Amino acid sequence: MSDEQAMSRVQTEAQPERGHKAFSGDVLFDFLSTYGTVFALFIVVAIFTAISPRFISSDNIINILHEIATLTIVSIGLTICVAVGEFDLSVGTVASLAGIVVSGLIVRQERSALVAILAALGCGLAFGLLNSVIVCVLRIPSLITTLGTSAIAVGANFAYAKGDSIYGRFPSTFKFIGQGEIGPIPTAVVIAAVLTALAYVFLNQTRWGRYVVATGGNPQAARLMGINTLMFRAIGLTAAGLCAALAGVVLTSYLGTGQPTGGDVYTLDALAAVFVGMTTVRPGQANIAGTIVGVLILGVIANGLNLVGAPFYLQQIVRGSILIASVSLAVIREEIRLF
Amino acid sequence: MGLTLFEARGVYKRFPGVLALAGVDFRVRAGEVHGLIGMNGAGKSTLVKIISGAYAPDKGEMTFEGRRYAPHTPADAIRTGVAVVYQERTLVPFLTVAQNLVLGREHTRFGLLDEAAATRQTQSLIEQLDLPFRPSIPVRRLGEGERQLVDLMRVLSHRARLIILDEPTAALTPEETERLFNVVQRLRDQGIGIIFTSHRLDEVLAICDRLTILRDGQVVYTGSPSARSRREIIDLMLGRELTERDVRQQHTAVAPALSVQHFSGEGFYDVCLAVGKGEIVGLAGLVGSGCTALLETLAGARRPRQGTMILAGRSVLFRSPRAAIKQRVVLLPEKRSEKGLIERLTIRDNLVLPSLQTFCSFGFVRRSREQQAATGMMRQLRITAPHTEFSVRNLSGGNKQKVVFGKWLLALHATDGAVFLLDEPTEGVDVGAKVEMWTMIQDLATRGAAILIASSDLDELLQLCDRIYVLRRGRIVNQFQRGAATQADLLHAMALESDVEPQSTKTGAMGAEG
């Protein structure tokens, strides 16, 4: 038997006042298992820097942050959703739908940017609430529910735009969201950063945030402690839908066109980011800081692979592998239990 | 008196930072039931794991049947003839008893399974132990206690001569325990050595021929259980004099704080009962008798079907635990790790969760305030952990239960007039913590709380309760006043079908209240 195993058993067996004393080996092991993923990020950065010194330039760093802004927005919403114990597989197609709705309303219906954005966010809200009702009232597992509503979002998308891309002139106010800059920082990055800060405060410093984490930790016990767990599940699912729609809006502005499948990849990428995040900072728990580490790893690898001229198909293989590896790590360490 | 079957001499086991066993000598004779007891952390489970081959000792040697015994793995130990029956069953629910018994070493004829041989072997074991089921019954149709017996049979079919029963009765009803004890006695008469660990002192005293008490990794007593009083044994385990528990005075409630009339729900029917302010009322019943369902319904976690519930003179219907908590009716559920705690979170998180709004302003948690409250509660209840940020998962059973208690104490502010529903409050809790728990419960009653306790520990009910209702198959079949019943009376009422009608003679006074 390895020492680690022996240690972890002692933790649960020995009398508290004796067993809980920290010994250096334990502390190091704890630290490595908590922050190993952060080291992985540094290692990836170091490798790409060694191959291509341009990688670490300030231009490229801003570039990376700009590229990951939309994924960050989706992942933040999904983090709250996973923290409450639910999944959302519809974030990608809801983001696509929101992107098509916002561009369609501006270009084809010639509505103002504000109206179009509100309508797109309304789509995200609607899907979040639809998911909530199915999960909380009909008691269908969210994994199945959102797989279904994901397809419904695709249908709505195609019904509205017939599957075509939407090109045209966007007002400069709208373009500012995805392409503009505030000082040296792209607006999209500012939006993602503000959202991240808000979500961090919500989950860590507010009463409702604490209830979200409690519900995700043990719904049965949380309910018996007087927490309205159904409401917090709905909050998690709605947050995921809303953030997905916001990401769709930012993406459309960033691209300058409405792409009918533009946001679809976010389902995989955001799940990967959240699961990578669950391996670090607060192992076993979806947490904002961890998710940001996850988004950075995905973003850095995507950018780095481009920069060194790796074949395009490698991107998808690497992302899929990251998702599986992070979930495997968490499952092996018994930090999360799926099903 | 049998020959020495197993002997350990000078066994040391050190884990990083902890000396779990400090030179233990331990001897089991053939044909004896040997009790192994001690508080949590005394080294019981480490010793069991060393004997069963899961750990290797750092120092010391062991012999089994006169030969040197140093198993490298549990499989090694089983081949030698030493096996553990664990609490978690390792049976395949969809296979039959016989199929489970031969799992991994099936009899074959011409490459095909020989079910008949498996059935024959199983049948002979069943007859030998006088067990009440057939070899062909699927394990999923058996109850918890019967599954354990199947596990025991499986160990026997491996020709084990030393069997370790590790907390075998934790999940069993008194009836099932009785049957297990019969089997254990048969095995002893056949010359098998049995090591028996349990938190329930009564059982250990009832079944064991000899007793070894561990404390802080050392043997503090080995010998006949009858040579020491119950009190002396507890003192040996604790290593200190137990504070004298003051004998509770019979408390007669003036008016009920909580009462139900013709109350029915899933698993219980037509229940009429009342709990007064300052009163401790017990619910005794076998598993499935409806105690848990009743308590969870009273706490708003399940919906009642019929009947009225009256709280402080007003009729109430709780649609959620949240509603019940608002009316100061709180539940300390059974299976505290699953229902009572969020194990992933810290002691502080768990303690303040139900009362979080009092530590918040404008929806933001005031960290210093909740920290202060959590620290205070940890000190008040003497929760043994290094700090409030310690994960609840790593606490002992007793400390976990204290956290469950503490969160309601924080949520209720004053306990006067509050209703505490306790479901198996001391299950899996060591003796020391159990006594503390009892003191806390009595203290709550003294301060005006109404307390309803369901427990399978009949001694606990008899010690604590002013009145005890007995439930059988979801109905109240009897009621006893304090001092009017013995364990045998309770067991009789819980387990026997015949006799009295519900709410019989002794219940007269209470039935009318509310």
Rounded distance, CA B55 to CA B14, Å? Answer: 11
The answer to the question of residue A1 being in a domain is no
In a domain, residue A11? The reply is no
Q: Dihedral angle at the C-alpha atoms of B445, B451, B453, B459, nearest 10 degrees?
A: 20
User: How far apart are the C-alpha atoms of A290 and B294, rounded to whole Å?
Assistant: 43
- CA distance, residue B109 to nearest chain A CA (Å): 39
Shortest distance between the Cα of B174 and any Cα of chain A, in A, equals 27
A198 interface with B at CB cutoff 8 Å: no
DSSP state of B425: T
End-to-end CA distance of chain A: 29
Contact assignment for B18 to A10 by CB distance below 8 Å = yes
Judge whether A43 lies within some domain.
Answer: yes
Whether residue A9 lies within 8 A of chain B, CB to CB, comes out as yes
What dihedral do alpha carbons A130, A131, A136, A142 form, nearest 10°? 160
Chain-chain contact of B365 with A23 (C-beta, under 8 angstroms)? no
> Which two three-digit tokens encode residue A43?
């290692």
Q: How many residues does chain A have?
A: 339
Is any Cβ of chain B less than 8 angstroms from the Cβ of A219? no
d(CA A114, CA A102): 9
* Sequence spans of domains, chain B: 4-238, 245-328+417-514, 345-414
Does residue A307 register a pLDDT over 90? no
* CATH number at B4-238: 3.40.50.300
Q: How far is A174 from chain B (nearest CA, A)?
A: 34
Interface contact flag, B39 A13, Cβ < 8 Å: no
3-class DSSP string for B246-275 = CCCCCCCCCCEEEEEEEEEECCEEEEEEEE
DSSP A31-76: HHHHHHHHHHHHHHHHHHHHH-GGGGSHHHHHHHHHHHHHHHHHHH
In a domain, A99, yes or no: yes
Q: Is A284 on the interface with B (CB under 8 A)?
A: yes
pLDDT of amino acid B352: 93
Note whether residue A34 is domain-resident.
yes
Among chain A residues, the shortest Cα distance to B298 is held by A224
DSSP letter, residue B234: H
Per-residue pLDDT of chain B (514 residues; tens, 9 = 90+): 568 999 999 999 987 666 789 999 999 999 999 999 887 668 888 899 899 988 899 999 999 999 999 999 888 898 899 988 876 667 888 888 888 888 777 777 777 788 888 899 899 888 888 888 888 888 888 877 788 888 888 888 888 899 999 888 777 777 888 888 999 999 999 999 999 988 777 788 889 999 999 988 899 999 998 888 877 887 787 765 444 444 456 666 667 889 999 999 988 999 999 999 889 999 998 777 889 999 999 999 999 999 999 998 899 999 999 999 999 999 999 888 889 999 889 999 999 999 998 899 888 999 899 999 999 999 998 888 888 888 888 888 888 999 999 999 999 877 788 999 999 998 878 777 888 889 899 989 988 899 999 988 788 888 889 999 999 888 898 888 887 887 777 877 776 654 444 443 333 333 333 2
Distance CA B341, CA A63 (A): 45
**What per-residue string of b and e applies to A122-139 under the rule 16 or more CB within 10 Å gives b?**
ebbebbbebbbebbbeee
Residue A4 covered by a domain = no
Size of interface A-B (CB pairs under 8 A): 129
Cα–Cα separations (whole angstroms), residue A212 to A195, A199, A293, B323: 17, 12, 21, 19
- pLDDT (0 to 100) of residue B196: 93
pLDDT given at position B497: 53
Task: Name the residue range of residue A150's domain.
Answer: 24-332
Please give, one letter per residue, the 3-state secondary structure of A225-269: CCCCHHHHHHHHHHHHHHHHHHHHHHHHHHHCCECCCCCCCHHHH
CB contact under 8 A, A225 and B407: yes
How many domains does one find in chain A?
1
Q: Do A21 and B386 touch (CB under 8 A)?
A: yes
Integer Cα distance of B504 and B235 in angstroms: 41
**How far, in Å, CA of B484 to CA of B480, rounded?**
6
Give the separation between CA B90 and CA B93, rounded to whole angstroms: 9
Q: What sections of chain A are H helices per DSSP?
A: 3-13, 16-19, 24-51, 58-83, 91-107, 113-136, 142-161, 172-179, 187-205, 207-217, 219-224, 229-255, 266-277, 288-307, 313-332
- Residue A328: inside a domain, yes or no? yes
SS (H, E, C) B112-150: EECHHHHHHHHHHHHHHHCCCCCCCCEHHHCCHHHHHHH
Task: Indicate yes or no: CB of A23 within 8 angstroms of CB of B16.
Answer: yes
Residues of chain A with C-beta less than 8 angstroms from the C-beta of B299: 224
| Nearest residue in chain A measured CA to CA from B215 | A15
Question: Concatenated DSSP letters for B336-373?
Answer: HHHHT--TTSBHHHHHHGGGGGGGEETTEE-HHHHHHH
**What are the Cα distances from residue A240, in Å, to A95, A100, A138?**
10, 18, 19
Q: Taking Cα atoms as reference points, which of A195, A202, A210 lies closest to residue A295?
A: A195
Kindly give the pairing relationship between strand B67-68 and strand B59-64: antiparallel
* Averaged pLDDT for residues A207-214: 93
Q: What is the pLDDT of residue A115?
A: 95
- Whether residue B304 contacts residue B249, with contact meaning beta carbons closer than 8 Å, is answered with no
**What is the mean pLDDT of the segment spanning A196-216?**
94
State the distance between the two ends of chain B, measured CA to CA, in whole angstroms. Answer: 60
pLDDT tens by residue, A43-88: 999 999 999 888 889 999 999 999 999 999 999 999 999 999 999 9
Say if the Cβ atoms of B364 and A206 lie within 8 Å. Answer: yes
Nearest-Cα distance to chain B for A218, in Å, is 5
CA torsion B380-B386-B391-B397 (nearest 10°) is -60
For residue B309, what are its two tokens?
């519930």
Of A301, A222, A245, A228, which Cα lies nearest the Cα of A73?
A245
Q: Is A59 on the interface with B (CB under 8 A)?
A: no
User: Measured between CB atoms, which of A12, A211, A218 is closest to B394?
Assistant: A12
Tokens of B216: 């802080």
> Closest Cα partner for B298 from B332, B336, B342?
B332
d(CA B248, CA A257): 79
State whether the Cα torsion B284-B289-B293-B298 is positive or negative.
negative
**Rounded to a whole number, what is the distance in Å from the CA of B412 to chain A's nearest CA?**
12
Highest mean pLDDT pick, A191-195, A320-324, B322-326, B440-444: A191-195
pLDDT in tens, A104-143: 999 999 899 999 999 999 999 999 999 999 999 999 999 9
Nearest to B342 among A13, A14, A218 (CB): A218
Q: What is the pLDDT of residue A180?
A: 92
ipTM: 0.79
Nearest CB among A18, A217, A224 relative to B345 is that of A217
**Cβ–Cβ below 8 Å for A15 and B45:** no
Contact between residue B23 and residue A19 where contact means Cβ atoms under 8 Å apart? no
Q: What is the 3-state secondary structure (H, E, C) of B157-216?
A: HCCCCEEEEECCCCCCCHHHHHHHHHHHHHHHHCCCEEEEECCCHHHHHHHCCEEEEEEC
Q: What is the chain B residue with the closest CA to A334? A: B344
d(C-alpha B420, C-alpha B453), whole Å: 8
Chain B, residues 328-347, CB within 8 A of chain A, namely 331, 333, 338-345
Does the residue A244 lie in any domain? Answer: yes
Which residue, B387, B383, B381, is CA-closest to B396? B383
Contact between B301 and A224 using a beta-carbon 8 Å cutoff: yes
Contact A214 B333 (CB under 8 A): no
d(CA A46, CA A40): 10
Same fold yes or no, B4-238 and B245-328+417-514: yes
Q: In this predicted structure, what is the pLDDT of residue A157?
A: 95
Using a CB-CB cut-off of 8 Å, the residues of chain B touching A26 are 16-17
Q: B357: nearest CA in chain A? A: A207
- B327 has a chain A CB within 8 A of its CB: no
Residue A173's alpha-carbon distances to A106, A117, A181, A255, B463, in angstroms, are 12, 11, 12, 14, 76
| Residue range B245-328+417-514, CATH number | 3.40.50.300
Query: Judged by CB atoms within 8 Å, which residues 161-180 of A form the interface with B?
Result: none
Q: How far apart are CA B43 and CA B24, in angstroms?
A: 10
| Predicted pLDDT at B510 | 38
Q: What is the CATH number of the domain that holds A82?
A: 1.10.3470
Give per-residue pLDDT as tens, A257-288. 999 999 999 999 999 999 999 988 888 889 99
